[in-house]
């Protein structure tokens, strides 16, 4: 007894199976987005570092290198005075330093 195979149907079945397998692999192996914990960001207050010191980083940014984040910016001489008493008049806008804070996440 001889069987006849419909090679077109077999070829179509194999192509669809391969495409489905690739789609499933792509869905499970592709990078997933990361979500941070919900946190309220409050303006017009000095943020603190992990040692509870004010972060002076006006006009700065955040840079990630590996698993370490660097927060950098400018510290003006009047910033400390302002942080201690934000309601007082403060005209000291002279440059003090470029500051860098870091935090490592593993």
Single pTM value for the model: 0.52
| Tokens 């960001």 sit on residue | 41
Query: 99, 72 in Cβ contact below 8 A?
Result: yes
Range 82-85, long-range pairs (CB < 8 A, 24+ positions)? 83/46, 83/54
| Tokens 């510290």 sit on residue | 75
- Residue-wise pLDDT tens for the chain (106 aa)? 666 767 787 888 888 888 887 777 766 666 667 677 777 777 778 888 888 888 888 888 888 888 888 889 999 989 888 888 888 888 888 989 888 888 777 6
């Amino acid at each position: 007894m001889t069987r006849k195979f419909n090679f077109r149907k077999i070829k179509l079945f194999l192509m669809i199976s391969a495409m489905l397998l690739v789609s499933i692999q792509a869905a499970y192996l592709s990078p997933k987005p990361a979500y941070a914990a919900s946190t309220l960001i409050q303006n017009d207050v000095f943020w603190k570092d992990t040692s509870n010191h004010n972060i002076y980083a006006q006009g700065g940014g955040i840079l990630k290198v590996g698993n370490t984040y660097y927060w950098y910016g400018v510290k003006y001489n009047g910033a400390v005075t302002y942080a201690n008493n934000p309601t007082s008049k403060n005209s000291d806008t002279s440059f003090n330093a470029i500051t860098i804070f870091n935090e490592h996440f593993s």
